[in-house]
């Protein structure tokens, strides 16, 4: 036997690997029944519930004839022959096995070694896939719950708001100072609750429309700027927009992302300071954006905590808000499979970075 296929060397090399490795000899390239096992590491033998004595040097047809009768098994065996013939690597992705010996989901690829020899790499991802599906289901349920809960809260809140207005108009003249102050507080709380509901609703619907389009970020940010015109005028904020790219992404969500970051950059400044904001982008395995401000900065030991829902570093009294904005931003960046983080010098300003990876260069 060729040195490369010395069983002892193979066992020492591959036995303790966490993936299944198996080497096959395709004796006759035109006959899938001629394929035989040369070597299998511990993981693969375990998956097959076999010992090496039962398989090494034996034909698949002798050891596991049922593989030929089973669609997934036949597909993999056919792939051994194809790879042996065409000297290429074939990534089969996820393969579902369900026969009496093997059952589950496997990530599988077949590689060429030399004439008539191929090897397969197999990873049992059954539990991982189950957990992934479960997680997706739970996330969906959670989003639906947040949507329904916030949606249903709107109507009693509108009733309260209407009743307060009726009290004000019907009894306005008879109300004493205390009652007027209480009504003012109720109105403030209603306003805050409305903001929370709107933000929660937006947060829970990120990516619902799941449509990737080509987006001109320059135009997108200019539109966001127009939408924020009154806030920008009120605060005299100066916003400098660098050259921004065109890329593939979720338009509504990206618009929300820029809007949230710009609103925060305007909001979190020291009183009396004019907000100066710059928005730039650099190519980086897709694009890396930076939204830089001259605000109060972030003085927490762990700045990444501000991306958690409801996390705020300031009280409502100093800077109003719901604590959902940056969690919303993170959800949007996650949807694009990017990353978001902040670098900041307290008292001088912060720069929020986020990446939007691109499959092909856009």
Alpha carbon distance 170, 167 (integer Å): 5
Under rule CB under 6 A, residue 259 binds ligand ADP: no
Residue with tokens 């998956």: 47
| Interface residue with ligand ADP, options 60, 197, 262, 296 (CB under 6 A) | 296
Q: Of 324, 325, 333, nearest to 355 (Cα)? A: 333
First to last CA, the chain: 51
- By CB under 6 A, name the one of 45, 265, 279, 335 that touches ligand ADP: 265
Q: Does position 95 bind ligand ADP by CB under 6 A?
A: no
Task: Please tell me whether residue 295 binds ligand ADP under the rule CB under 6 A.
Answer: yes
Chain-centre distance of CA 214, in angstroms?
19
Contact call for residue 264 and ligand ADP (CB under 6 A) = yes
326 contacts ligand ADP (rule: CB under 6 A):
yes
Minimum Å gap between C-beta 19 and ligand ADP is 41
**x-or-dash pattern for ligand ADP, window 342-361, by CB under 6 A?**
--------x-----------
**Residues 158-197, mask of contacts with ligand ADP (x by CB under 6 A):** ----------------------------------------
In the complex, the smallest distance separating the C-beta of residue 215 from ligand ADP, rounded to whole angstroms, is 22
Binder of ligand ADP out of 23, 26, 43, 298 (CB under 6 A) = 298
CB atoms within 10 A of CB 288: 17
User: Which residue is at the shortest CB distance from ligand ADP?
Assistant: 321
Does residue number 306 form part of the binding site for ligand ADP (CB under 6 A)? Answer: yes
294 touches ligand ADP (CB under 6 A): no
Distance CA 127, CA 78 (A): 27
C-alpha triplet 218, 223, 225: angle, nearest 5°: 95
How many residues line the site for ligand ADP (CB under 6 A)?
21
Nearer to ligand ADP (CB atom), residue 147 or residue 319: 319
Residue tagged 């020899």 (tokens):
117
Binding site for ligand ADP (CB under 6 A): 264-265, 268, 293, 295-298, 306, 311-314, 321-327, 350
């Amino acid at each position: 036997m060729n040195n490369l296929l010395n069983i002892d060397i193979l066992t020492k090399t591959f036995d303790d690997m966490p993936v299944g490795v198996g080497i096959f000899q395709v004796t006759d390239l035109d006959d899938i029944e001629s394929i035989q096992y040369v070597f299998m590491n511990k993981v693969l033998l375990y998956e097959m519930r076999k010992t090496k004595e039962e398989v090494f040097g034996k034909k698949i047809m002798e050891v596991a004839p049922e593989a030929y009768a089973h669609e997934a098994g036949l597909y993999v065996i056919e792939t051994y022959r194809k790879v042996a013939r065409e000297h290429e690597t074939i990534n089969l992705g996820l393969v579902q096995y369900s026969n009496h010996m093997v059952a589950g989901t496997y990530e599988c690829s077949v590689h060429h070694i030399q004439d008539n020899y191929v090897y397969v790499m197999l990873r049992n991802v059954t539990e991982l896939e189950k957990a992934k599906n479960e997680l997706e289901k739970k996330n969906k349920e959670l989003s639906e719950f947040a949507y329904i809960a916030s949606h249903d809260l709107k109507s009693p809140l509108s009733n309260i708001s209407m009743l307060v207005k009726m009290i004000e108009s019907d009894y306005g003249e008879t109300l004493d100072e205390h009652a007027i102050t209480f009504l003012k507080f109720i109105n403030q709380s209603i306003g805050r609750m409305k903001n929370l509901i709107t933000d929660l609703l937006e947060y829970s619907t990120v990516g619902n429309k799941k449509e990737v389009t080509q987006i001109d970020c320059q135009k997108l940010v200019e539109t966001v700027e127009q939408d924020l015109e009154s806030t920008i005028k009120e605060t005299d904020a100066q916003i400098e927009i660098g050259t921004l790219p065109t890329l593939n992404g979720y338009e509504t969500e990206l618009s929300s992302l820029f809007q949230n970051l710009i609103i925060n950059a305007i909001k979190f400044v020291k009183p009396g300071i004019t907000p100066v904001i710059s928005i730039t982008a650099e190519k980086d395995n897709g694009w890396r954006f930076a939204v830089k401000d001259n605000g109060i900065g972030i003085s927490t030991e762990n700045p990444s905590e501000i991306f958690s829902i409801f996390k705020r570093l300031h009280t409502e009294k100093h800077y109003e808000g719901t604590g959902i904005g940056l969690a919303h931003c993170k959800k949007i960046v996650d949807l694009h499979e990017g990353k978001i983080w902040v670098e900041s010098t307290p008292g001088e300003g912060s720069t929020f970075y986020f990446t939007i990876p691109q499959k092909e260069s856009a």
